[in-house]
């Protein structure tokens, strides 16, 4: 950075030398009988100065613009990494398209400020002051005249830029809204199409789009006045120079050469002013956008690496919930975020949950939809933290365990598993920390990929794809059926060899026959793993060591299958009704 400032300085000084050479030429032409060889010398000198200036200008540009791109690169990387540390609550309360606007549109504005903005700002300041110094050396009086309008500048600039700032903010916020709306419209296209709401979607989008124009035109008003005003301020200077300087030349107190030189410098003074207008534009926009980015940068995740994690490098697998109360936290979107949570009127999703699962056990959780089964599972790998009560693993509060120990120790397959647009192999390897390059390791990994796929009963399906494990899955995993997706998710979970395995409704799209086979293989191959299986299908969990029945956020009963059939009304009902459906499914 300091290097580039030096280059800016050198470039400016040389650029100012050129009018001085011209002045000398003109004065010599007017006052002395010049000779052709002398003119040649001046010409060559002119070209040399300009060439040298060019060299400095090259370095100046390259250094500053490259720097701005590099800064953009690191902000983008930092932003992405920061985003990944944020709590699930953040993503729950901010729209995807709006987050994406930050990393594209706002970052662009910041870079434009850092690159061309700073370049021109430095340049402007240097040119401005060095020009004034030289002008003073020629004629202090004339200089003062040419600067008459300059005091207006701070007044105009500060008033206009304040307005500019607030209007940029409105515009950038609206852009984020537009982006969010578009993103949802693409994601929900199926609903729109099946209800033939395309025209309605278009109308709604059109309204947003229209509002965006209106907001931008409010901005344009200020932007449009800025540039002409700056030129006018410079113009007033040259007008006064013409008027006063002209009279001085006529009166004989100023040479014609000095006058010409002075008019050249006035032009030098006008350009910085114009560019100042432009720079202020970039600065304001960059500042607004940086502010928006900083709002997100300023968010600290609630769930993060403990300050002094326990010296614990693996999980044994005992899980305990102690008086856990939980509801999904609500926060304001990043644009409005002020550190305070809005009033939360919702009810507890989990109320006073007490569970104890010993290492190596298989626990089943059943209950109706919305009873809190999945929410309870979310708390184990700390996607969320409970508001009251404790979750313990191996008798230790999980908040004290390093996330780098906790999460790799747990594999949690969510209800609607997210499959990435990668190959099947890459998806299975998703959670594997490091893939070593050596051949033997690769063979080992390949073997393991196949073995977990076999356990998940995915292998047979994969073999039928022409490209096998290299088959690519579309953005929404479209080439896979619901059941295949779930089995892929199970394979992915097994691949990391966790100590705790949580399967949340992972068999809902898998027929009972296959489910049974998977469960058997799981038992065989993962005997020492603590397993929590969540299902609303009794068959899935009936062989568990402990079964937990949940209803409306509370545990109603715990026990084994036979006990629960006697104790729990809910359990009994579920069991009888489902028996049929499953047997039917098997038949089909």
Q: Which of 6, 92, 463, 525 binds other proteins (CB under 8 A)?
A: 92
Q: Which is nearer to other proteins, 33 or 395 (CB)?
A: 33
Tell me how far, at minimum, the Cβ of 173 lies from other proteins, in Å: 14
SS3 392: strand
Tell me which residues in 218-237 interact with other proteins (CB under 8 A): 220-221, 223-225, 227-229, 231-232, 235-236
Q: Which is nearer to other proteins, 470 or 527 (CB)?
A: 470
Q: Which is nearer to other proteins, 201 or 394 (CB)?
A: 201
Tell me which residues in 456-515 interact with other proteins (CB under 8 A): 467, 470, 472, 474-476, 478-479, 481-484, 492, 496, 508-511
Q: Nearest Cα to 219, choosing from 164, 178, 274?
A: 164
Tell me how far, at minimum, the Cβ of 542 lies from other proteins, in Å: 14
Q: Which of 422, 447, 523, 566 binds other proteins (CB under 8 A)?
A: 422
Tell me how far, at minimum, the Cβ of 90 lies from other proteins, in Å: 9
Distance CA 515, CA 511 (A): 6
* Helices H / strands E in the chain, number of each: 22, 10
SS3 366: strand
Cβ atoms 309, 400 nearer than 8 A: yes
Tell me how far, at minimum, the Cβ of 484 lies from other proteins, in Å: 8
Cβ atoms 557, 549 nearer than 8 A: yes
Q: Which of 8, 10, 95, 398 binds other proteins (CB under 8 A)?
A: 95
Q: Which is nearer to other proteins, 293 or 574 (CB)?
A: 574
Cβ atoms 550, 556 nearer than 8 A: yes
Q: Which of 195, 388, 442, 520 binds other proteins (CB under 8 A)?
A: 195
Tell me which residues in 353-372 interact with other proteins (CB under 8 A): 368-370
CA distances from 67 to 5, 78, 119 (A): 12, 16, 11
Q: Which of 341, 387, 421, 525 binds other proteins (CB under 8 A)?
A: 421
Tell me which residues in 377-416 interact with other proteins (CB under 8 A): 381, 383, 403-404, 407-408, 410-412, 414, 416
Q: Which of 141, 198, 468, 569 binds other proteins (CB under 8 A)?
A: 198
Longest Cα separation, the chain: 122
Q: Nearest Cα to 258, choosing from 146, 145, 147, 137?
A: 137
Distance CA 235, CA 361 (A): 85
CA distances from 584 to 207, 259, 289, 544, 577 (A): 51, 102, 59, 23, 12
Tell me how far, at minimum, the Cβ of 132 lies from other proteins, in Å: 20
Tell me which residues in 259-288 interact with other proteins (CB under 8 A): 259-260, 263-264, 267
CB atoms inside a 10 Å sphere around CB 194: 8
Q: Which is nearer to other proteins, 527 or 581 (CB)?
A: 581
Tell me which residues in 124-183 interact with other proteins (CB under 8 A): 175, 178-180, 182-183
What is the pattern of x (binds other proteins, CB under 8 A) and - over residues 25-64? xx--xx--xxxx--xx-xxx-xx-xxx-xxx-xxx-xx--
Tell me which residues in 316-335 interact with other proteins (CB under 8 A): 328
Cα-based angle 542, 547, 552 (whole degrees, multiple of 5)? 120
What is the pattern of x (binds other proteins, CB under 8 A) and - over residues 504-543? ----xxxx------------------------xx------
Element (H, E) at 156: helix 152-187
Distance CA 230, CA 228 (A): 5
Q: Nearest Cα to 575, choosing from 528, 567, 246?
A: 567
Q: Encoding tokens for residue 305?
A: 């690496």
Tell me how far, at minimum, the Cβ of 277 lies from other proteins, in Å: 11
Tell me how far, at minimum, the Cβ of 316 lies from other proteins, in Å: 19
204 contacts other proteins (rule: CB under 8 A):
yes
- Structure-token match 């100023």, residue found: 254
The footprint of other proteins on this chain (CB under 8 A) covers a number of residues equal to 176
Tell me which residues in 426-445 interact with other proteins (CB under 8 A): 426, 430-431, 433
Q: Which is nearer to other proteins, 212 or 297 (CB)?
A: 212
SS3 325: strand
Q: Can you spell out the DSSP letters for 532-580?
A: EEE-S-HHHHTT-SEEEEEETTEEEEEE-HHHHHHH-HHHHHHHHHHHH
Tell me how far, at minimum, the Cβ of 370 lies from other proteins, in Å: 3
Element (H, E) at 102: none
The β-bridge partners of 531 are 362, 501
Q: Which is nearer to other proteins, 422 or 523 (CB)?
A: 422
Candidates 94-102, 123-131, 292-300, 309-317; binding stretch for other proteins (CB under 8 A): 94-102
Torsional class of 501: left (φ above 0), alpha (ψ -120 to 50), beta (otherwise): beta
Buried b (16+ CB within 10 A) or exposed e, 423-433: bbbebbbbbee
Q: Which is nearer to other proteins, 72 or 543 (CB)?
A: 72
Q: Which of 3, 246, 298, 323 binds other proteins (CB under 8 A)?
A: 246
Distance CA 236, CA 567 (A): 94
Tell me how far, at minimum, the Cβ of 197 lies from other proteins, in Å: 5
Candidates 102-110, 285-293, 392-400, 521-529; binding stretch for other proteins (CB under 8 A): 102-110
């Amino acid at each position: 950075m300091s290097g580039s400032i030096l280059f800016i300085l050198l470039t400016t000084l040389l650029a100012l030398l050129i009018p001085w050479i011209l002045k000398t030429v003109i004065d010599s032409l007017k006052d002395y009988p010049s000779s052709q060889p002398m003119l040649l010398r001046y010409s060559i000198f002119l070209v040399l100065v300009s060439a040298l200036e060019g060299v400095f200008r090259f370095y100046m540009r390259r250094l500053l613009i490259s720097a701005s791109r590099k800064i953009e690169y690191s902000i983008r990387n930092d932003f992405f990494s920061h985003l990944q540390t944020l709590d699930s609550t953040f993503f729950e309360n901010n729209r995807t398209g709006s987050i994406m606007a930050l990393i594209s549109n706002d970052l662009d504005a910041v870079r434009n400020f850092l690159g061309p903005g700073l370049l021109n700002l430095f340049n402007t300041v240097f040119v401005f002051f060095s020009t004034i110094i030289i002008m003073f050396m020629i004629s202090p009086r004339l200089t003062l005249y040419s600067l008459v309008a300059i005091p207006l500048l701070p007044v105009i600039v500060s008033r206009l830029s304040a307005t500019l700032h607030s209007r940029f903010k409105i515009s950038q916020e609206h852009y984020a809204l537009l982006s969010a709306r578009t993103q949802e419209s693409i994601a929900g296209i199926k609903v729109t199409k099946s209800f033939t709401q395309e025209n309605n979607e278009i109308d709604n989008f059109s309204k947003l789009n229209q509002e965006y124009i209106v907001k931008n035109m409010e901005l344009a008003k200020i932007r449009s006045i800025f540039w002409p005003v700056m030129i006018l301020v410079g113009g007033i200077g040259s007008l006064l120079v013409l008027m006063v300087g002209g009279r001085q030349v006529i009166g004989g107190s100023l040479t014609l050469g000095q006058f010409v030189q002075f008019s050249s410098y006035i032009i030098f003074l006008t350009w910085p002013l114009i560019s100042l207008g432009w720079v202020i534009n970039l600065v304001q926009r960059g500042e607004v956008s940086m502010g928006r980015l900083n709002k997100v940068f300023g968010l600290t995740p609630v769930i993060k690496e403990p300050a002094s994690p326990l010296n614990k490098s693996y999980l044994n697998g005992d899980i305990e919930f102690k008086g856990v109360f939980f509801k999904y936290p609500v926060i304001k979107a990043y644009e409005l975020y002020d550190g305070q949570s809005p009033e939360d009127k919702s009810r507890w999703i989990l109320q006073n949950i007490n569970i104890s699962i010993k290492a190596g056990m298989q626990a089943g959780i059943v209950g109706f939809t919305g009873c809190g089964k999945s929410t309870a599972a979310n708390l184990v790998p700390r996607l969320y933290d409970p508001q009251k009560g404790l979750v313990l693993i191996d008798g230790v509060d999980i908040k004290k365990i390093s996330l780098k120990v906790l999460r790799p120790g747990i594999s949690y397959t969510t209800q609607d598993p997210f499959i990435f647009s990668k190959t099947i192999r890459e998806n299975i390897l998703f959670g594997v920390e490091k893939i070593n390059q050596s051949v033997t390791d690769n063979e080992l990994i390949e073997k393991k990929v196949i073995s977990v796929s076999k356990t998940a009963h995915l292998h047979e399906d994969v073999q039928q794809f022409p490209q096998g494990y290299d088959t690519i899955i579309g953005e929404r995993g479209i080439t896979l059926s619901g059941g295949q997706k779930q089995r892929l998710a199970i394979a992915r979970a097994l691949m990391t060899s966790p100590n705790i395995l949580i399967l949340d409704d992972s068999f809902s799209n898998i027929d009972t026959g296959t489910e049974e086979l998977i469960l058997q293989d799981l038992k065989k191959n993962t005997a020492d793993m603590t397993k929590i299986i969540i299902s609303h299908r009794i068959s899935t969990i009936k062989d568990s060591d402990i079964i937990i029945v949940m209803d409306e956020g509370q545990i109603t009963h715990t026990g084994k299958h036979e006990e629960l059939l006697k104790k729990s009304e809910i359990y009994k009902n579920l069991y009888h009704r489902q028996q049929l459906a499953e047997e039917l499914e098997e038949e089909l």
